[in-house]
Amino acid sequence: IGGSAMLTGAAAGALGAIAGAGVAAGGMMLGVVVFTVLWALLMMALWFAPALVMLHEVAPLDAMRLSARACFHNLLAFVVLAALLYVLVWVAMIPAGLGMLVLVPVIAGALYAAWKETFSPLLPAPVAASDHTPDDASAQEATGDTTPASPALLPPPSDNTTDDVGTKAAPPAPEPGPSPGPADEPPKP
């Protein structure tokens, strides 16, 4: 958009240098505004999408929609954070880009904190595999509750290796009474 306006302004040089510069500047400003709006919409769609896809297994396009909707609902906070990050990126680039070594983890932490503040109250907690039994549906029908149970957003780990610590049953509790003394111990082989 801006480039074609620049060429039009340059071609309009026959009208006069001032008129051609005005057309070129106006076209460039229109190009900057269109680019900024499209970039902001893209950033809104991508702001929380990776966390929603990875941590709650939301489909990518649905995650982008949820992210954009959350940014629109919190538009002032989004604009303030985006402006602050814009300034911080420029400041971080002053020492030959070495400030980015500090800024990138700060941005990641800010995005995580913003995601947690925005989505953790709205999304149901993951349901453990042991919490869901086939009797849940019959209990739901018996009570007359017709709302579907919330699906588990995070599946249980699919690691097929067994861990001796987690799979062994706890030893039985000792029986009450006097504890056996050293003389009561069986002989060691």
The DSSP symbol for 68 reads: H
pLDDT digit string, tens, across residues 134-189: 555 544 555 554 544 444 444 444 555 544 444 455 455 445 445 555 555 555 66
Length of the chain (residues): 189
Residue where a domain terminates, one of 84, 99, 120: 120
Statement to judge: residues 50 and 12 lie in one domain: yes
The whole-angstrom separation of Cα 106 and Cα 184 is 62
Statement to judge: residues 19 and 47 lie in one domain: yes
Residue where a domain terminates, one of 34, 56, 78: 56
169 in any annotated domain: no
**For the whole model, what pTM was predicted?**
0.54
Q: Is the pLDDT of residue 88 over 60?
A: yes
107 in any annotated domain: yes
Structure-block tokens of residue 145: 């509750």
Cβ-based neighbours of 58, under 8 Å, separated by 6 or more: 52, 66
Statement to judge: residues 63 and 115 lie in one domain: yes
22 in any annotated domain: yes
pLDDT digit string, tens, across residues 26-46: 777 888 888 889 999 999 999
Statement to judge: residues 81 and 103 lie in one domain: yes
42 in any annotated domain: yes
Domain total in the chain: 2
Which residue in 39, 118, 32, 31 sits closest to 82, CA to CA?
A: 39
Predicted confidence at residue 11, as pLDDT, reads 62
Statement to judge: residues 41 and 67 lie in one domain: no
184 in any annotated domain: no
Residue where a domain terminates, one of 97, 120, 143: 120
What is the distance of C-alpha 73 from the center of its chain? 16
159 in any annotated domain: no
41 in any annotated domain: yes
109 in any annotated domain: yes
Domain residues for 95? Answer: 58-120
Statement to judge: residues 51 and 63 lie in one domain: no
